[in-house]
Amino acid sequence: MQLYLDCPCTSFPRSFARDYKETYRYPPPSTIYGFLLSLVGETDMSAHLGVKLAIGIIGDDPPISRIVRKQRHHKFSKTHMGTYPTGKFSKPNFQELLTDLQIAVRLDSSEESATVKLTERVAIALSTPEQITRFGGLSLGESWAMVNGIRAYREEDGAIRWLIKDNRGLISLPIWINRATGQGTFQRFSWSTDWHEHCWVTIPKPAESAPKAGKAKKSSRKPKA
């Protein structure tokens, strides 16, 4: 399955970005995976782990714009109990935006363990959307970054430059974010004008934790003479 996605304005804040919201130049696989779950109305992030994605850019790199926006900075505490006056906890910050982003996405659900595969659910959402139960707008990245639409890719949409896995590549993108710890799994990429099997990125399944080896208890008994 190959899809065409058009997003007029979005941002993919880097994990280390704080006051200055710098964006990844290209859509991370973790973001595309979350977008597809939103498309089919799935709220469980682990529902389709094991799916394989391939991401390509159509046309030139999207231009970066810089804006000033109000952002809130606070930590939840017993002192404030959810009350944060705008004058004390908000300040202007710079943020980078990507505009006129056109993406091609390939999907492969052959390694999924779900009963109904993600490719099947996406096909249903595109052909008969009335069968999908979802809420909110369809966004790519942050909630304000609404997409123009998503459909099957057509040849007239333009040539595709594919992100291909390359351990020496200069493009580093997250493929999975652990929501509990905030830690991410990253992959390096380079560009390929031709499709290649190394373009596939697998959304990783959680590693099974190995049982911890218990320490042998010291015996308090004295050896017999």
Residue entry with tokens 């966004």: 139
21: containing domain:
2-64+100-202
- Assess if residue 82 is contained within a domain: no
pLDDT tens per residue across span 131-141: 888 888 899 98
What is the rounded CA–CA span in Å between residue 104 and residue 59?
11
User: Is the backbone of residue 67 left (phi > 0), alpha (psi -120 to 50) or beta?
Assistant: beta
- Assess if residue 69 is contained within a domain: no
Choice between 82 and 96, residue whose per-residue pLDDT is larger: 96
- Assess if residue 123 is contained within a domain: yes
- Assess if residue 224 is contained within a domain: no
- Assess if residue 12 is contained within a domain: yes
- Assess if residue 172 is contained within a domain: yes
Residue 155 scores a pLDDT above 80: yes
Q: How many domains does the chain have?
A: 1
Q: How many CB atoms lie within 10 A of CB 200?
A: 14
Q: DSSP secondary-structure letter at 146?
A: B
How confident is the prediction for the chain on average, in pLDDT? 84
Q: Which whole number is the average pLDDT over 171-195? A: 86
pLDDT tens per residue across span 106-124: 999 999 988 899 999 999 9
Q: How many angstroms from the chain centroid is the CA of residue 54?
A: 13
Q: Which whole number is the average pLDDT over 13-38? A: 87
- Assess if residue 34 is contained within a domain: yes
Find the angle CA(26)-CA(30)-CA(35) to the nearest 5 degrees.
90
pTM of the model: 0.81
Residue 219 scores a pLDDT above 70: no
Please list the residues that pair with 120 across neighbouring strands: none
Q: Which helix (H) or strand (E) holds 88?
A: helix 86-89
Of the listed ranges 86-90, 192-196, 219-223, the least confidently predicted one is: 219-223
CATH of the domain at 151: 3.30.70.2660
Choice between 224 and 49, residue whose per-residue pLDDT is larger: 49
Q: Which whole number is the average pLDDT over 53-73? A: 86
Choice between 153 and 180, residue whose per-residue pLDDT is larger: 153
Residue 78 scores a pLDDT above 60: no
Residue 216 scores a pLDDT above 60: no
- Assess if residue 208 is contained within a domain: no
Quick one: which of 141, 136, 143 has its CA closest to 41? 136
pLDDT at 51: 94
Calculate the dihedral angle through the C-alpha atoms of 36, 41, 43, 49, rounding to the nearest 10 degrees: -40
